[in-house]
Amino acid sequence: MQSESLGAANQPPEETVNLRHYWHVVLERRWLVITAFFSVFALCLIYLFKATPVYQATARIQIDREFENMLNARDGGFASSTREVDYMVTQQKNLQSRTLMQAVVAKLKLDKEGRFAKSADPALALTRSITIAPIRLSRLVEIKAEDPDPKLAMDVANTVADIFMMNNLDRKRKVSLDFLTWLQNEEATLMNKVKQADSELQKYREDNKLVSLSSDENIVLQQLRQAKQDLDRAEGEATVLNNIALEVRKLRASGQSLDSIPKIASDPNISAYRKELSLLEVSLAGLKKQYRDKWPAVIQTKERLDQLKKSIQDESETVYASILNEAVLANAKVKSFAEVLAASEKAAFVLGKKKVDFNVLERNAEQTKLTYTEVLKRKQEVELSSRDAKQNISMVDPAIRPRNPVKPRVSLTLLLGVFGGMCVGLGLAFFVNFLDDSIKSQDDIEAYLKLPFLGYVQNIKANSIVERDLQTHLQPRSNSSEGFRTVRAAIALSHNADKLRVLTVTSTIPLEGKSLVATNLAIVTAQTGFKTLLVDCDLRRPFVHKAFQLQSPIGLASYLSGKTSRLDDIVHHSEVPNLDVICCGAAPSNPSELVSSPRMVQFLKEVAARYDRVYLDCPPVSAVSDPLVVAAASHGVVFVTKFNKIRREHARKSIRRIQDAGVNIAGIVLNDIDFEGRDSYYYSYYYYQNRYYASHYSNQTGEKPGEKEVVGKS
């Protein structure tokens, strides 16, 4: 029968993990946790009982800075110093050096007797028993030695400190002597360099004839300065004279008389001539008023005027030629001064080059002398310091003999035993829980199987099969009976509940309680007034007849094989009102063929028409194919799974087989839960709820709660 799956309509809520879940895991695996805890704690006790007491002696030393001396000059050029942090770390590592450990072993004769003598490498064994602990924000370092013998621990700590300080002082003295030898060799080398530098400087003076570079430089500079001044003055005069000559040429070229040119007219001789000419012209004008032109005085005056004019003309020519000559001489003078200046500059350049070379030689000589002086100074310091080497490492607190052992630490070991036992126990519990993927709760069903959850069924405490399978009839007020009623209500309130009239009850594997669920579910359904039929469809291992104490060879197998065609021949009326039962009858040899025959389909149609509700008790899905055939002809499947027995993947594959056959699964029933015992931590809320209503029922009947319940398998 094809129908929609109810699981697709109701998606399960997201799985959440909280503290209660972890608590449930711990309760479920409590014996594993307890066993692991006491095992770890017992191991700690055994360790404390068998462990050899170890004593620790501590010597404290102080490591100061290296004294400022020649020790840093060789590496850092006299000015650098060792980084303090690097120095402290280096000294701490030296305290654990193999050389130091071998010296301690030799001094204390540890390789001759004791536990170190048994070791293949006594120095390495000693190193492992020593701890170097610098004290933060200080220059103090603690040397901690551990040994079962308290006196030996004290001796080792003090010996390590003493040998380390002695080695440090010896190292300083050796470095001082080595450095002094180096300085002596360096002194001799620098002395030769000083002599060579002075010789090169003197030879350069002699080769270049430099008596005094400073005085020679002053003379050249004075000559250069004077030549520059003379050239500037000559250029100024030449410029003025050239301008005058050019102007005079222009005026003469324009036709102007020479004596009218200002530069020429200003000449003293021409000025005197012109003054005398003016006087004669005035005198001639007076004579002409009195005398005629032939008058001797007039003639004589005219002759004198002509002579003066000629003199003025001649003198003007002379002055003109002088102006031109002066310009030519001024230009020649400029050229001459320019040649003098060029010669002075060349001499200055030559002297400058000589000065550069001279300065290089002079600086080299001075630097060599400074280095030589510094080496002499450092040599004196080293000679003084080597006579009295200073120790920068001192003993602050020598080690004393310890009274109490430091190992084993009883309190810490016990605390670690408790804490470690709890961690191991809880870790194992959660690890086992992680590996355990069985179905234990409604969340598992909804999250992993993706199907509706119908309800829980408490494990039924019974002394017989009849009392167990007829629990809801014989003990209608028990907690387990309420569980079956919850399943009935869940089916009745599910989607398309009116169509779920023929239901197949099956499980994944045998012994999950499917027959128990089918029987009691049929009983509680009949108790509501529905005409109900319970059919034992397990033709291989029938079980229903045992619960109802029916012994009839004629049953469902006879009907399906055609031995009887009347339904009334195989129907049995039970002691439960409204409930009829059809047993398997004699087990057939071909159950799969009978279940798959058309007679099975005809049988289901006939019982569905006669009864309000029909429950088919079928074999497990993983065992045979019968339940798939029967379920396909029914209206739905009630899937039963036993608490903490079936793995999720196994159940998922069984459900997938049913769904692949197109069968509707109404929901899943979780069976055989011990609310009062091993499973109470999973369903404590359910247990207290059932206890509350059990108290209510007992008050009405006068029974004590749980009086009719005894622990047993369902």
Instruction: Tell me what the mean pLDDT of segment 488-510 comes to.
Output: 86
pLDDT at residue 622, as a whole number: 80
Q: Could you read off the pLDDT of 351-401 as tens digits, one per residue?
A: 666 667 677 767 777 887 788 788 777 777 766 665 556 778 889 999 999
Torsion-angle region of 615 (φ positive above 0: left; ψ -120 to 50: alpha; else: beta): beta
Q: What is the CATH number of the domain that holds 470?
A: 3.40.50.300
Residue 247 and residue 360 share a domain:
yes
Residue 253 and residue 333 share a domain:
yes
Residue 614 and residue 481 share a domain:
yes
Is 321 a member of any domain? yes
Per the structure, how many domains does the chain have? 2
pLDDT at residue 214, as a whole number: 53
Q: Would you state the structure tokens that stand for residue 471, as one six-digit string?
A: 């629990």
What are the φ/ψ torsions at residue 527 (nearest 5 degrees)? -65, -20
Residue 633 and residue 517 share a domain:
yes
Its pTM surpasses 0.75: no
Rounded-to-integer distance, Cα 667 and Cα 503, Å: 11
Q: Could you read off the pLDDT of 625-675 as tens digits, one per residue?
A: 888 888 888 888 998 988 877 777 788 888 888 888 888 888 888 888 876
**Is residue 144 a contact partner of residue 57, using CB atoms and an 8 Å limit?**
yes
Residue 593 and residue 478 share a domain:
yes
Is 300 a member of any domain? yes
Note down the domain range covering 222.
213-386
pLDDT at residue 57, as a whole number: 93
Torsional sign, CA 230, 232, 234, 237: negative
Cα–Cα distances in Å, from 678 out to 27, 454, 684, 693?
9, 22, 11, 21
Q: Could you read off the pLDDT of 107-127 as tens digits, one per residue?
A: 988 888 878 888 888 889 889
Cα–Cα distances in Å, from 655 out to 318, 438, 628?
147, 15, 10
Residue 578 and residue 473 share a domain:
yes
Q: Would you state the structure tokens that stand for residue 427, as one six-digit string?
A: 């870790």
3-class DSSP assignment, residue 580: strand
Rounded-to-integer distance, Cα 636 and Cα 387, Å: 109
Is 404 a member of any domain? no
3-class DSSP assignment, residue 203: helix
Highest mean pLDDT among 224-228, 456-460, 504-508, 703-707: 504-508
Is 621 a member of any domain? yes
Looking at 361, 386, 411, the residue that finishes a domain is 386
**Is residue 481 a contact partner of residue 471, using CB atoms and an 8 Å limit?**
yes
**Is residue 229 a contact partner of residue 318, using CB atoms and an 8 Å limit?**
no
Residue 665 and residue 538 share a domain:
yes
Is 441 a member of any domain? no
Is 4 a member of any domain? no
- Radius of gyration of the chain from its Cα atoms, rounded to whole angstroms: 66
pLDDT at residue 4, as a whole number: 40
Is 611 a member of any domain? yes
Q: Which residue has the higher pLDDT, 595 or 233?
A: 595
Rounded-to-integer distance, Cα 666 and Cα 1, Å: 13
Looking at 362, 386, 410, the residue that finishes a domain is 386
**Is residue 644 a contact partner of residue 679, using CB atoms and an 8 Å limit?**
yes
Residue 454's nearest CA partner among 676, 620, 649, 665 is 665
Highest mean pLDDT among 23-32, 264-273, 387-396: 23-32
Residue 624 and residue 478 share a domain:
yes
pLDDT at residue 88, as a whole number: 86
Quick check: 322 pLDDT over 50? Answer: yes
Is 39 a member of any domain? no
**Is residue 323 a contact partner of residue 250, using CB atoms and an 8 Å limit?**
no
Residue 495 and residue 364 share a domain:
no
Looking at 386, 421, 438, the residue that finishes a domain is 386
Confidence of residue 712 (pLDDT cuts 50, 70, 90): very low
Q: Could you read off the pLDDT of 92-103 as tens digits, one per residue?
A: 899 889 999 999
b (16+ CB within 10 A) / e for 96-119: eeeebbbbbbeebebbeebebeee
Residue 378 and residue 456 share a domain:
no
Residue 467's nearest CA partner among 129, 115, 709 is 709
* β strands within 338-490, DSSP E: 393-397, 453-458
Residue 656 and residue 546 share a domain:
yes
Residue 669's nearest CA partner among 608, 702, 610, 714 is 714
Rounded-to-integer distance, Cα 386 and Cα 364, Å: 32
Q: Determine what percent of the chain is predicted with pLDDT higher than 90.
A: 12
3-class DSSP assignment, residue 309: helix
Q: Would you state the structure tokens that stand for residue 333, as one six-digit string?
A: 């003078």
Residue 637 and residue 561 share a domain:
yes
Q: Which amino acid is at 479?
A: N
Quick check: 615 pLDDT over 90? Answer: yes
Instruction: Tell me what the mean pLDDT of segment 455-459 comes to.
Output: 82
Residue 406 DSSP code: -
* β strands within 114-258, DSSP E: 130-134, 140-147
What mean pLDDT is reported for the chain?
Answer: 77
Long-range contacts (CB closer than 8 Å, 24 or more residues apart) made by 417-423: 417/40, 417/41, 417/43, 417/44, 417/45, 418/37, 418/41, 420/40, 420/44, 421/36, 421/37, 421/38, 421/39, 421/40, 421/41, 421/44, 422/33, 422/37
**Is residue 147 a contact partner of residue 156, using CB atoms and an 8 Å limit?**
yes
- Tell me how far apart the 2 most distant CA atoms of the chain are, in Å: 209
**Is residue 366 a contact partner of residue 358, using CB atoms and an 8 Å limit?**
no
Residue 464's nearest CA partner among 551, 541, 547 is 547
Confidence of residue 220 (pLDDT cuts 50, 70, 90): low
Q: Could you read off the pLDDT of 158-192 as tens digits, one per residue?
A: 999 999 988 888 887 777 777 777 877 777 787 78
**Is residue 558 a contact partner of residue 570, using CB atoms and an 8 Å limit?**
yes
Rounded-to-integer distance, Cα 254 and Cα 248, Å: 10
